[in-house]
Amino acid sequence: MYKIAVAGTGYVGLVAGVCFAEVGHLVTCVDIDESKVNVMKSGVSPIYEADLEELMQKNYAAGRIDYTTDYKSAYKDADAIFIGVGTPEQPDGSANLSYIATVARQIAESIEKDCLVVVKSTVPVGTNDKVEQFIQDFLVNDVKVEVASNPEFLAQGSAVHDTLHAERIIIGTESKWAEELLIKIYEPFNLPIVSVNRRSAEMIKYASNDFLALKISYMNDIANLCELVGADVQDVAKGMSYDARIGSKFLNAGIGYGGSCFPKDTKALENIAKQHGYELRTVKAAIDVNTDQKTMLYKKASKRLITFNGLKVAVLGLTFKPGTDDLREAASLENVPLLIEQGADIYAFDPVGADNFAKVHPEGINGKGSITYVTNIEDALNEANVCFIFTEWGEVKAVTPEKYKELMRTPLVYDGRNIYSIEEMQGAGVEYHSIGRKAVEREVSKESRNLELQTVRS
């Protein structure tokens, strides 16, 4: 059992702290926001994440985790301090390291015993070398301190599971002491550990995320071509998935990737390459494809409709993926403003993301159009002229094709996540547009047509 301090209580820091407590370590999570600290002490998570609150309450009651704004007391006698603060994207695509620097100085001025500082935040290659030197520059007491890299590979919506059941733990160290201590801290997890030097660990994080982003953008590029040549991208993906060299994950075509990792990390790695006089052409292509893909549905609908002005537009899903309330780089943030600018009256549904979205686009009249947030899908669809699906929430997937036909004034659906079968939507009388798939004209018998007419007349 080790005494661990965690700087930052966002997705990375809070999840890491709770999981360290879950395996038996004594953890103190540090945040500058006192109101947020009080909320966490009450057992409420400031972020929407499966299983997180339950483990927060369990370990707080057991005395294994606490939350504080007093960083000095948290850092002074910690065996290890994990840094999980944000490294947001700057206008040029580089990572903002100011939060890392602030924490590093606080650590240097607070620690009173030998300590390992572990950076979990995603940082450019070589940053941890600078962090270690920065701490040494401001060190107050005569103690041993080293910096290690320990990048996270969690996915929002499954972060707790991804931490406790990781496929591997990457640690980057420059001494045997740091390596052995970090291995002992992770020993209770009973997971594979890959030990490399610091710079390799930093690069593994970027290389892994950017490869997945590449895979997504590649499939979206293929999907767009599939539509033009009459192929079905889902059939193509299925055929590809049997090849063990390719695998079955990240082959789903749609309206692009979002969230806190892929967009930021692709731009950051491209920026790192530029700083060294190198062009990462594949990563640049992934970024370009993703940028265009996000508004693909809007462009399709704009060709189909004369105008959005005065139309009721149902928007199903606002977050960048299901299972989280995170809106960062969500497709909705690109499309909703375009629809509002065209005069659309938007009725938006999202089971957990509506409050966050309302901070960006308050309910009511916004410019030429308006937005209303609803708590059930039926209110969004009722008498709607067109529907956009941006997030594949379970509640959205549960809506039957017949429901769109029944509730909408014009059953016109643009699905950015390929949730439905083209045949089933077509069979229900819904005009359905998805990504990388083309509707096949059905041959309808005379008897079927007569039956449909009789049904309508009755």
| Catalytic annotation, residues | 261
Measure the CA–CA gap between 238 and 235, rounded to whole angstroms. 5
Structure-block tokens of residue 71:
């960083």
Start-to-end CA span in the chain (Å): 73
- The alpha-carbon radius of gyration of the chain (Å, integer) is 25
Q: Distance of alpha carbon 421 from its chain centroid, rounded?
A: 26
* CA-wise closest residue to 291 among 267, 260, 324: 267
d(CA 182, CA 180): 6
| Dist. CA 131–CA 163, nearest whole Å | 25
Q: Are 128 and 87 in contact (CB under 8 A)?
A: no
- Please give the Cα distance from 203 to 280 (Å, whole number): 14
Q: Strand 3-7's sheet: what is its strand order?
A: 65-68, 26-30, 3-7, 80-83, 115-119, 145-149, 169-172, 193-196
Rounded-to-integer distance, Cα 272 and Cα 54, Å = 39
Measured CA to CA, the distance from residue 173 to residue 84 in angstroms comes to 17
Which residues, other chains included, contact 219 with Cβ-Cβ below 8 Å and sequence gap of 6+? 233, 237, 250, 251, 252, 253
**How many helices (H) and strands (E) in the chain?**
20, 15
Closest to 413 measured CA to CA, from 453, 385, 380: 385
CB atoms within 10 A of CB 311: 22
In this structure, are residues 65 and 19 in contact, taking their beta carbons and an 8 Å threshold?
no
Q: Judging by DSSP bridges, how do beta strands 364-366 and 369-374 pair with one another? A: antiparallel
